[in-house]
Amino acid sequence: MARSSDVEYNTVHAQGNCSDAPGDLEGLSQPSYRENQDPNVTAKQIQLYYKNATSEVVAEHGVSREELDRLAPQIREITESMQQQRDAGELAYRDLPYQKQTVETITALAQKLQGKYDNLVILGIGGSALGSIALQTALNSPTYNFQDNAQRGGPRLFVIDNVDPAQFGALLEHLESQLDRTLFNVVSKSGRTAETASQFLTIVETLKTHLPDGKLTDHIIATTDPSSGTLRGIVEREGLTSLVVPDGVGGRFSVLSDVGLFGAAMCGIDIEQLLAGAADMDRRVQSADLFENPAAIYGAIQYALYQKGKPLSVMMPYSYQLKDLADWFRQLWAESLGKAVDVNGKEVHTGPTPINALGTTDQHSQVQLYREGPNDKVFTFLEVTDYGRDVVIGPAGPVEELSYLSQRSMTELINVEKQATEYALLQSQRPCLTIKFPHISPHTVGQFIYLFEVTTSYVGGLLNINAYDQPAVELGKEATFALMGHEKYQDLLKEIQATCQIDEDFVL
């Protein structure tokens, strides 16, 4: 690939990954950092490395410099358009990192409630839950809920994002004797979503039954629309403490609002640093220069490879802590980019399909397909330099064939495994990108969340679709209302019954 210099081409990207491993692929040279990059800043930033998704490495299965150059004017237009929308208040998610008053309000509420509850249960679904799950997994110990109160420093957290009766019933049974020390946070912009509404109604009845002298106001906090909707009406009638789902912020973009910040603050996560990380990334993704903007270059590569017959986008973190961020990304990508029509009303049926995997686990369950199956995927690895702790592998003793592992570290092993998997995929000409975390912290997680939210806006612009609505979700919601007997949907119920009637001739 022709380029003026490595410094220009590898702007704001991470250190090469395969280049650190033995048996380098030819051409996988150590990339250069921007020459004026402050090393103290770099040490705090996540970085993108994209060379292994280019034609220089994977030939026709990658994107060429010429293809990126052709997208550069369009990226500039999208960047300018997003800034105009932002100035007009139409991209509310872009300003969430700067909500000083929200941080103060949530911090004060969390401090007021500190020590009063042993359990926090978040009731929600989709964007009302996935962000909270991702923050908890990334930023608190995997054994957080098993720790005693002094170790945790906050309540145990349960996020219930389904209406599976076995799961929900088991939790209610577990909490029955602890209800006086349990706080429920119901998260729903409208209050009409069947799953969250059913959870909420059940919790209200449970509290009234088992705590007859207790007040709902002592055990329920609602996060909902600031001025209207079913749940807002309940808040006003019952006098519940409430937080807000900001106007103009869709659920999948809401994790950096009250929706995700309250649970995080209650569980000891530094929400100020989370937003500071997002603000840091905001400064990095405002450039209209494709090669200076990590959200733009990532989005352009995904778009270009989608156009070249790679509609599947696999995110594979090599960190248990980051696995639920990949799950959060899956909703963000799917709900934002899967659209039947473009902004002009033209039928397009477009959108990449997100897939989440976990390294090293899925090296043993999916990589066979990824290497030898259809070459229709783009891979994004999440790599961590410093896990915050390490484990030294035990001695091999007399087992000579395992001596290569003896006294090595698990940090070294997991990162070598990532390099080995990427090397194998590149041998099969599979395009790969890497997001590198210097460490996992509120600051770097905030950067990651904001990076992918803005990237989603770029890909939506390149696809010429509305990345902020979800019209296809509504019919399923309405069908649920009809099948559950909602009086306003009786005509739809008749259509469903005619369509979904079981034909016994096809039952085995």
Residues 439-472 pLDDT 10s: 999 999 999 999 999 999 999 999 999 999 999 9
H or E stretch at 208 = helix 194-210
306 lies in the same domain as 455: yes
53 lies in the same domain as 153: no
d(CA 320, CA 382): 11
pLDDT at 9 over 60: no
d(CA 142, CA 240): 32
Q: Are 17 and 381 in contact (CB under 8 A)?
A: yes
Domain of residue 70, CATH code: 3.40.50.10490
Count of structural domains, the chain: 3
Residue 445 structure tokens: 């997680």
272, 305, 336 - which closes a domain: 272
d(CA 69, CA 291): 9
Residue 174 belongs to some domain of the structure: yes
Residues 182-202 pLDDT 10s: 999 999 999 989 999 999 999
Rounded to the nearest integer, the mean pLDDT of the chain is 91
272, 293, 322 - which closes a domain: 272
d(CA 462, CA 78): 8
For residue 297, which amino acid is it? I
Could you tell me the pLDDT band of residue 251, with boundaries at 50, 70 and 90? very high
Catalytic residues: 335, 364, 477
What pLDDT does 214 receive? 73
H or E stretch at 243 = strand 241-244
405 lies in the same domain as 258: no
Could you tell me the pLDDT band of residue 33, with boundaries at 50, 70 and 90? very low
Q: Are 107 and 265 in contact (CB under 8 A)?
A: yes
Residues 414-433 pLDDT 10s: 999 999 999 999 999 999 99
Residue 505 belongs to some domain of the structure: no
Neighbours of 417 (CB within 10 A): 14
Residue 292 structure tokens: 């200076």
Residue 507 belongs to some domain of the structure: no
Residue 220 belongs to some domain of the structure: yes
Coil/strand/helix, residue 119 = strand
pLDDT at 16 over 90: no
pLDDT at 400 over 50: yes
Q: Are 195 and 183 in contact (CB under 8 A)?
A: no
Could you tell me the pLDDT band of residue 34, with boundaries at 50, 70 and 90? very low
Residues 326-346 pLDDT 10s: 999 999 999 999 999 999 999
Contacts of 502 (CB under 8 A, 6+ apart): none
d(CA 48, CA 380): 10
pLDDT at 36 over 80: no
Coil/strand/helix, residue 387 = coil
359 lies in the same domain as 476: no
Residue 201 structure tokens: 């109604």
Q: Are 109 and 262 in contact (CB under 8 A)?
A: yes
What pLDDT does 43 receive? 64
Residue 164 structure tokens: 């599976």
For residue 20, which amino acid is it? D
173 lies in the same domain as 320: no
pLDDT at 11 over 80: no
272, 291, 312 - which closes a domain: 272
Coil/strand/helix, residue 65 = helix
Residues 486-501 pLDDT 10s: 989 999 999 998 898 8
Share of the chain above pLDDT 70, in %: 92
254 lies in the same domain as 322: no
Residue 355 belongs to some domain of the structure: yes
Residue 43 belongs to some domain of the structure: yes
Residue 374 belongs to some domain of the structure: yes
Residue 272 structure tokens: 């100020």
Question: Which of 94, 461, 114 shows the shortest CA–CA distance to 296?
Answer: 461
267 lies in the same domain as 281: no
d(CA 186, CA 197): 9
189 lies in the same domain as 284: no
What pLDDT does 2 receive? 36
Q: Are 419 and 18 in contact (CB under 8 A)?
A: yes
251 lies in the same domain as 306: no
Helix and strand totals (H; E) in the chain: 19, 12
180 lies in the same domain as 63: no
What percent of the residues of the chain are helix, what percent strand, and what percent coil, each to the nearest 5? 55, 15, 35
Residues 286-312 pLDDT 10s: 999 999 999 999 999 999 999 999 999
Range of the domain at 338: 6-81+275-463
Could you tell me the pLDDT band of residue 123, with boundaries at 50, 70 and 90? very high
Residues 55-102 pLDDT 10s: 999 999 999 999 999 999 999 999 999 999 999 999 999 999 999 999
Residue-by-residue DSSP string for 6-59: HHHHTTT-PPPSGGGSSSPPTT-PPPPPPTT--HHHHTTS-EEE-GGGBHHHHG
d(CA 42, CA 33): 9
CA distances from 275 to 46, 68, 97, 123, 330 (A): 15, 31, 5, 23, 22
254 lies in the same domain as 132: yes
Residue 339 structure tokens: 């659209």
What pLDDT does 153 receive? 84
147 lies in the same domain as 282: no
Residue 209 belongs to some domain of the structure: yes
Lowest mean pLDDT among 22-36, 96-110, 209-223: 22-36
